[in-house]
Chains A and B, each alone.
Chain A
């Protein structure tokens, strides 16, 4: 079972760089061909100062540049084989573009036991700011922990 006293705990902040090469690799993997994401001129016409990132890429940036991408598992006392991704939410507040340096500040927002303790839902909320101190986004990840139920 997951220890409920970790609610409110902050995880290590992550500083991530939006690098053009890594972003291209992501786009090519997804077959992204939208000119707003591939062409600087089209991005400018859409109102961006530089190529912006696709809507789920914030999640990737945080994992790529984290010292320990699965730190939340240690805090929850779970391992990779017993967790699933339950929900994911993004709130977009300002553009995130190539060249930006972002700071991710994750914290454990809630922990709820379900199905008589067979599973636990842990919510990790992350505030994201850029190099100018602008609050650009909020991310919320719900991790499902499949508890090892004693026989």
Chain B
């Protein structure tokens, strides 16, 4: 798991890469309950259509949770200092996500040696859905 981090990290190193199965309606319904985010736009087709969308779409935070999982698969959780994302585009139903991250900078963060990671989540067409950053202790 933390094999990557047991050697010296260098700028440009790819630290994480994880693929997720296509997002189903069932998954969004489960996430609605599991997350406490009951916004109907993610599960109720009638509501989504009335709001002007062709269909329901994934919660941004569901996609960020996938990216977070890819991150903590590669980086032991206690090393995580910050985790941030921009929701670049709506993630459509059925999307198959790929989460990636690489080292952009080695920095001092609150007196601690850290690496800054650039993170992305793309769908099966290569379109960026989330663009983010994490700071991890090394």
Hey, which bits of chain A sit against chain B, CB under 8 A? 22, 25-26, 28-32, 34, 36-37, 46-48, 52, 54-56, 59-66, 69-70, 80-82, 84-92, 95, 140
Contacts and interface: CB of A to CB of B under 8 A. Distances in A.
B69 A32 contact: yes
Contacts of A64: 35-36
Q: Which 7 A-B pairs have the closest CB atoms?
A: A64-B36, A81-B51, A63-B36, A89-B84, A85-B60, A55-B68, A29-B34
Contact of B65 (A25, A30, A52, A61): A30
Nearest to A64: B36
26 contacts: A26-B34, A26-B35, A30-B65, A34-B69, A34-B77, A36-B77, A46-B76, A54-B69, A54-B72, A55-B68, A60-B34, A60-B35, A61-B36, A63-B35, A64-B36, A80-B39, A80-B40, A80-B51, A82-B51, A85-B59, A85-B61, A87-B86, A87-B87, A88-B60, A89-B84, A90-B82
B85 A87 contact: yes
Interface residues of B, number: 41
B82 to A, nearest CB: 5
B66 interface: yes
B77 A46 contact: yes
A123 B59 CA distance: 18
B135 to A, nearest CB: 9
A63 B31 CA distance: 13
Contacts of A84: 60, 87, 90
A148 to B, nearest CB: 12
A36 B72 contact: yes
A48 B50 CA distance: 46
Contacts of A54: 65, 68-69, 72, 77
Interface of B: 1, 20, 27, 30-31, 33-41, 47, 50-52, 59-61, 64-66, 68-69, 71-73, 76-78, 80-87, 90
Contacts of A25: 30, 33-34
A95 B71 CA distance: 17
B81 A92 contact: yes
A67 to B, nearest CB: 12
A26 B34 CA distance: 5
A140 B31 CA distance: 21
Contacts of B87: 84-88
B71 A29 contact: no
Given A56-B64, A81-B52, 19 more contacts: A22-B34, A26-B34, A34-B77, A54-B65, A54-B68, A54-B77, A60-B36, A63-B35, A63-B36, A66-B36, A81-B50, A84-B90, A85-B87, A88-B60, A88-B61, A88-B64, A90-B83, A90-B84, A92-B83
